[in-house]
Structure 1
Amino acid sequence: MIVVGIDPGLTVSHASRVRLQGGSCVYGRQADLAGTFQGDPASLAAQLHAAGPADLILVEVARGAVASARDGDPVLHNNIVAGEILGHLRALGLPAVPVASGGNATAWAWRPSLGVKGNTHGVAAKDALTVSIVALRLTNPEAMPTGPRGGHCQHYWDAAGIALAGLDRLLASPDLPPLEAVNRVSGLEAHKLERRRATKRASKQARAAGLIPGGTNGRHR
């Protein structure tokens, strides 16, 4: 099983192609990095098409509070780039869907799913994946890690996290086709989502009633 995660960017987008190891299940997922790619929406889609079939391609978008609270932030422009990437991928017949990185509009925040579930290999597997990403980039001097957050390597790691969360989704719903499994909302996720929305409503009501000072987002400083 192969899943690709994509981290859109204003000037260049990054993708990580992750392959599930045989015999894995949702409580013992092990995966290998099968390749990394970068480019504008059209070239990235072409590279992924040339790389061979994938069960699922996930493109990160920001939704809910993440996007609405940051109107002047490039995150919204990144979402436009994400839409362009989706268009190119689907035009090539590739199984691509958007996934949210957080916010109150979705129960699926992929970041907590970076580790391997249910066994003792989580940290080691994550470290190994990071090392393999770095090793791949070292073969391309023009893509060397740069910048305070790790430059290209940070983006490839984010993309790998999206792909790993997608693998978890597919493993958790083995009887569903990939495009259905990745969008399935479990009972626990629905419960967490409703609790988050209820907390946000209560916080707004308390601020409106003057019980909480405005601008603290429901928390006293």
Structure 2
Amino acid sequence: MPQSPQSPQSSQSPESPCCRHHHRPSRPSRLRGALAVVGAAVALVAGVDAVSYAATGKPLLLGRANKAPATTTLTAPGTPLSLKGAAARPPLKVNSSTKVRRLNADLLDGLDAAALRTTARVFTRSLTDVTATTTTVPIAPGSYLVSYSHYFPVTTLGTTRGRCFLVADTPSGTRYLAEQIGTDPQGGPIGVSGSALVTLEPEGELDLRCSTPLSYSTTASQPQQVVAVPVDSVSTTVLP
């Protein structure tokens, strides 16, 4: 008996090319990928630009040498700039000796402004019924420009005469300075004054000695006076 024809079966397997499914990415996936690429490009460009911007000195690069094409100004409600360095290091350096206007400093070489002022020390003394006096000037060792003035309110029928001088008595010796003698042939009061540069050594003493043959007393308005002005340094030049 003849066999009935069988229905044809497909000879194509699931692995055949005609049966493969091509999985295409969805639109959201493609969009995310595109955005990632664009973002990376923007970051790269921005990073390069930031480096270029910083290299011009516009932002402050810590630990680097910075340059700016114009003056940089800092403004703040409080202190605009605070510089802190190591204990033995200066917090600021400059490359010019040009004067900076309105720049105030609390100390100069470790000295307060009061220590930099030239202060004259004035000593006065009243005298009563004397003919000769020795006045010790209480100053510390150092160099001073010392001046004195002494008024002799004496009168006589003959010539009046008065004499004063400084005595710097130190361990290395005694120096007599600024001797002045005043006279008045008419027998009236006389005034004597003098000045000298005095260098007083440690354990030294400075005296003003004055004398006249007649007894006298100083007046309240014209007492004996000595002025000592400290001198920081002394330069001596021998003239021909």
Give the number of the structure whose residues are more often helix, by fraction. 1
TM-score range, shorter chain: under 0.3
Structure showing greater radius of gyration is: 2
